[in-house]
């Protein structure tokens, strides 16, 4: 058996020759990222994790695999197919290209500029109104769970952009849709890791309870939109993602997308739009609180350049005037990207060489984003949180090595939107409010981690597709007061 084993030279635990069960268990329990990181630390840049699976952690290998459609997505993405294959889950090159073409204008910078005022109302005005309310209720001092409220504001943004209406999650202190998204991601990870369970998806109620609610919500939105169009009550000047898909025609059939196809795309947009950006902002605040000197420098930069409470900070002005703030965003994307899983691809017939190992046709290669972000050929002291690395002469080159939004032909189409949200929400939040950790916080600048050269201890994370803090209700609280201008 070993003689004919084409992966026999790839290092890894002995059991990986026979089964990928340890990897699947790690994925099921949220230990996905830590499991793969530990294997790479032990065995090197390419490691075997199953009879037909390897994981890669080098940036050069990552970009090689992601550069073209030669490496199709692996069958594991079928676990993320809601109703029908979508922009995210499809393994077909033509369908992916078509969906990107159909939705591309909404996520282009031109398309986003056209709704900038709407985004400012949600990301700045509505969000700041809620924080003011929290502070006023506390007679000048409020306790604020930023994980929760960042999810609420990104939910409102994607509601407007995808469906043409807000969820009012910020105003109402939440919306059920954020819980549906979080639980659906966990089940999808389970389906991806254990394909045999997909046959039981509609038999066991717990498997479908939340994604069924999510799908019904999107189906109702499609029905509502069609009713508005048919009655002549839809505002044709408002072009959102749902409308773009509804007026699009399939290049295969020449027909509009079916209801099932529309629902699949809307579910995908909502899941991707809520979790990834909110988690990035969560880690950003987390690191500011762990590194007070970084927090102070960011706040000083923001308030020096934008000293007026009444004026918003537009994202374009933030890009021009806040280089250190932007450097901290890049560093957080690098050290704790919101996507925790590896991007799985299938090796084409000609095979591929990854870091000196010949990987044969049909092998699943999992390209670990967290591994690429710790590649010592690119990153000096990768475990160290150091925004300064994005301020020096190599800054622009290093920014291109951050693959938090993937790379190549499958790069995240909503990358521009995510940057706009982060800069609008966080910059204006820090301009108007002062933050500090609660006295009972289990983490802080003086609570050190010997495994990180006595750098501040970072709260543990958990990976179910995305990579949030493991205990956000406990570990994502700050004391908020209004800044006196």
Helix (H) / strand (E) element for 477: namely: strand 477-482
Strands of the 477-482 sheet, one edge to the other: 142-145, 477-482, 433-436
Tell me how far apart the terminal alpha carbons of the chain are, to the nearest angstrom.
73
Beta bridge partners of 478: 144
Return the structure tokens found at 328.
């901290």
Cβ(65)–Cβ(52) below 8 Å: no
What is the radius of gyration, based on Cα positions, of the chain? 23
C-alpha 87/C-alpha 220 separation (Å) is: 21
Return the structure tokens found at 412.
């995240």
Mapped to the 3 state alphabet, what secondary structure does 208-257 carry?
A: HHHHHHHHHHHHHHHHHHHHHHHCCCCCCCCCCHHHHHHHCECCCCCCEC
Query: Of 242, 253, 94, nearest to 159 (Cα)?
Result: 242
Which positions ≥6 away from 79 have C-beta within 8 Å? 188, 189, 190, 191, 192, 193, 195, 198
How many residues in the chain? Answer: 485
Torsion of CA 193, 194, 199, 203, to 10 degrees: -90
Mapped to the 3 state alphabet, what secondary structure does 250-288 carry?
A: CCCCCCECCHHHHHHHHHHHHHHHHHHHHHHHHHHHHHH
**476 is annotated as contributing to ligand binding:** no
Distances (CA, A) of 416 to 65, 99, 409, 444: 23, 17, 16, 32
Query: Which residues line the annotated binding site?
Result: 412
Query: Which residues line the annotated binding site for heme?
Result: 412
């Amino acid at each position: 058996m070993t003689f004919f084993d084409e992966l026999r030279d790839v290092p890894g635990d002995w059991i990986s020759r026979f089964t990928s069960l340890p990897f699947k268990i790690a994925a099921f329990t949220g230990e996905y990222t830590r499991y793969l990181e530990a294997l790479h630390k032990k065995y090197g840049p390419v490691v075997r994790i199953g009879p037909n699976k390897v994981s890669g952690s080098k940036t050069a290998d990552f970009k090689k695999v992601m550069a073209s459609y030669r490496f199709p997505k692996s069958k594991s993405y079928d676990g993320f197919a809601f109703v029908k294959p979508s922009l995210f889950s499809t393994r077909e090159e033509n369908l992916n290209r078509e969906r990107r073409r159909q939705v591309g204008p909404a996520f282009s910078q031109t398309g986003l500029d056209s709704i900038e005022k709407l985004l400012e109302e949600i990301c700045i005005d509505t969000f700041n109104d809620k924080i003011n309310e929290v502070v006023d209720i506390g007679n000048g001092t409020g306790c604020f769970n930023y994980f929760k409220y960042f999810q609420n504001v990104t939910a409102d943004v994607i509601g407007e952009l995808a469906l043409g209406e807000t969820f009012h999650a910020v105003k109402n202190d939440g919306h059920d849709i954020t819980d549906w998204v979080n639980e659906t991601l966990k089940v999808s990870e389970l389906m991806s890791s254990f394909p045999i369970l997909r046959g039981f998806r509609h038999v066991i109620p717990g498997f479908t309870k939340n994604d069924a609610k999510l799908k019904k919500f999107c189906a109702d939105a499609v029905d509502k939109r069609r009713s508005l169009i048919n009655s002549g009550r839809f505002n044709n000047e408002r072009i959102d993602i749902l409308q773009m898909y509804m007026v699009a025609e399939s290049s295969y059939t020449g027909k509009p997308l079916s209801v099932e196809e529309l629902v699949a795309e809307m579910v995908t947009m909502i899941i991707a739009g809520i979790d990834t950006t909110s988690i990035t902002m969560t880690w950003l605040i987390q690191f500011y609180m762990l590194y007070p000197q970084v927090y102070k420098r960011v706040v000083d930069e923001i308030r020096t350049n934008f000293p007026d409470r009444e004026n918003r900070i537009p994202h374009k002005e933030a890009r021009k005037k806040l280089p250190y703030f932007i450097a901290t965003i890049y560093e957080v994307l690098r050290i704790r990207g919101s996507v925790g899983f590896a991007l799985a691809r299938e090796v084409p017939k000609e095979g591929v060489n990854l870091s000196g190992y010949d990987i044969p046709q049909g092998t699943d290669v999992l390209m670990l984003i967290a591994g690429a972000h710790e590649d010592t050929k690119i990153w000096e002291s990768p475990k160290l949180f150091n925004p300064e690395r994005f301020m020096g002469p190599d800054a622009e080159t290093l920014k291109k090595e951050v693959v938090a939004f993937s790379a190549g032909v499958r790069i995240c189409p909503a990358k521009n939107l995510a940057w706009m949200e982060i800069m609008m929400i966080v910059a204006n939040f820090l301009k108007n409010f002062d933050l500090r950790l609660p006295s009972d916080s289990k983490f802080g600048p003086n609570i050190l981690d010997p495994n990180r050269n006595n750098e501040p201890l970072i709260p543990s994370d958990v990976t179910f597709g995305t990579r949030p803090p493991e205990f956000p209700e406990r570990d994502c609280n700050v004391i908020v007061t209004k800044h006196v201008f």
